[in-house]
Amino acid sequence: MATFRRLFTPGATWFFTVVAARRRPLLTDPRVISAFGTAMREVRETLPFSMPAWVILPDHLHVIWTLPEGDADYPRRWSIIKRRTSQLAGLPSMARACSMVARRESGLWQRRYWEHLIRDADDLQRHVDYIHFNPVRHGYAGVAAAWPYSSFARHVLADTYPQDWCATRDPDIDNRGEP
């Protein structure tokens, strides 16, 4: 069995990719969107973090979190968020492998997630751009502003991006894959 090593840096900023089990396109279901939002708010009340950027696509999501000084416990946050979202979504029971049943997994989420420690301001900007361009890259929207499940509108209001940012496909963003 593979051994996964996680880096724990208190107060750091992290980019995460979290995937739906079997890449099922369930994450933009209104019940899941609502449950996920509630779970995030509940966790942020007891285990705070800031969220500079996020996007939810049908089968995966990307998010950037900055944890408080002295705190590196993002695995606990993800565990609670995934479990609470599954509880609140009210989706019908899904087929689950024996290993999923043994681990009390709902079948909504893939077991693991991918994280990347943000190194500096340029790395952060590349990941924020990647997040906001992702719906265009996957063909879910023609422009970033057209995708409703992201922090792009918040960034437009804050003058971080113009409304028409990446209105045409940007090969530098589109072809580099995961940041």
Residues annotated as catalytic are: 149
C-alpha Rg value of the chain to the nearest Å: 16
CA distance 121 to 109: 30
Distant-in-sequence, close-in-space partners of 174: CB < 8 Å, separation ≥ 6: 133, 136, 137
Spatial separation of the C-alpha atoms in residues 70 and 68, rounded to whole Å: 6
- How many helices and strands (H and E) does the chain possess? 6, 4
